[in-house]
A and B are shown apart, each in its own frame.
Chain A
Amino acid sequence: MKKIILTALVLFLTACSPVKPWERGNLALPQMALEGDAQEANFRQHTFFSKESSSGGYGGHGGGCGCN
């Protein structure tokens, strides 16, 4: 199992085309940020967490609340 995961990881990493440091301008643009607005992301996740059963996957704090 370990071998399969490692092989898959190596294949995945080598399949990605090399990106030189000076080619990363596009990735650094604000519209490309995975989490461009941490406060809003926290508010949205907190809201959906208190209205739906699913949670997790995103980062954020670990605290609970009595939200209903």
Chain B
Amino acid sequence: MSLIERLSLAALALPGLLVGGEAQAGRAEELYHADFQYAHYEESKGRMKVDVFELSAVAPIGDKITASVDLVRDTISGASPILNIKNSDGKVEQYLSGASIFEQRDALAVGLSYAFDDVNVSFGGGVSGEHDYLSRHLNTGASWTFNKKLTTLSFTASVAFDEITPTGQSDVKNSKTSQKYLMGITQVINKNSLLQSNMTFAYHKGYLSDPYKAVYVEGVGLEDDSRPRHKFQWAWLTRYVHYFKTLNKAALHADYRLYVDDWGINGHTLELSWHQPIADDWLIIPRFRYYTQNEANFYQATFDAMDIGDIHSSDYRLTGFGTLGVGLKLTKSFHMAGYIKEVKLQMAADYNDRKASYQIGGNDEGSFDDFSFYMITASINMRF
């Protein structure tokens, strides 16, 4: 198949292809996919390092069914914050675990989708295991393309069952259940732009505390991290893509997400990326990300005996902060006539700076838990 024919087929498949990687209604995936990715994540101050290996495959079965499998191995090492203490000058300092953590996570996910004329349905499930954590999940989804294939509505539902057996407490088994529902619309606005808007509702119930974190109570000592036993989350993501023919066929991607939960946290995420084609199937993608959140209503850096309630946490992820991120991605595609139709190589590097002072609306918590991290990814994608 020529490049033009493949592009035309992809064009006819729009916009169903755009929703969560699901196959287009009325047409299952036609090519086999095999993708491998290596990713590295590393934090400043000698904290966490993570190496991720991921292998994914997609296979068409007949002309209606698409099967997929995804394998991930994370190896995690380094130090993690446990609590904050007040030093003799009354200043808050973060206390880390020491660089003793070593963890491996293995995850498997499988999926099947079936393409009707205008509707695509999918089912999937997976398991993720660490020595102290086991998560199993099931998901299902449907997407419906209509309005002369200019509009796609999609719904997904998933449920996860997690079990936590903290290291050194083999007699303790904590569990939680999570339900997530997503509904979204993808709309072709004109021949140069499209918009997607998704809402997610999530409800978690059970043990939502962190068994490896503690809080410091002045004059008393340490207490376990203790969070509510339920959490409701709402997220609204809107994504816009615009094509600029005169700028060598470049594309602007702009994403904004509003997040609200009933622990008192509101978050805003803005992502911008510019996808610039350069010669010979090279694509260069500079990108920018800004994130801000306010603190949970039971968060304090440290507590007094007078103000600590049953629910309390000093987890650095529940405080107010902002993160600024910049990154660069390069991709190169090779189109071939043989058994392998396409090979795509991708490489990216991102740097993120997380600071209390980057929070919208200001933050007087101080800089004791500021840190930065970088991410590197390299992948090869094959279509045959």
Contacts and interface: CB of A to CB of B under 8 A. Distances in A.
Interface string B178-191: 10101000111111
Contacts of B267: 52-54
B333 A30 contact: yes
Interface string A39-57: 1101110011001111111
Contacts, number: 226
B107 interface: yes
Interface residues of B, number: 113
B243 A32 contact: yes
Contacts of A25: 7-8, 11
Interface of B: 7-8, 10-15, 17-21, 35, 37, 39, 41, 48, 52, 54, 56, 70, 76, 80, 103, 105, 107, 109, 124, 126-128, 130, 132-133, 135-139, 147-151, 156, 158-160, 162, 164, 176, 178, 180, 182, 186-192, 194, 196, 198-200, 202, 210, 212-213, 233-237, 239, 241, 243, 245, 249-251, 253, 257, 259, 261, 263, 265, 267, 269, 275-277, 283, 291, 293, 296, 317-318, 323, 329, 331, 333, 346, 348, 350, 354, 373, 375, 377, 379, 381
16 contacts: A19-B191, A27-B191, A27-B194, A27-B243, A28-B10, A32-B275, A34-B253, A35-B18, A37-B331, A43-B377, A53-B265, A53-B318, A57-B236, A63-B135, A67-B76, A68-B210
Interface of A: 12-13, 16-19, 21-40, 42-44, 47-48, 51-68
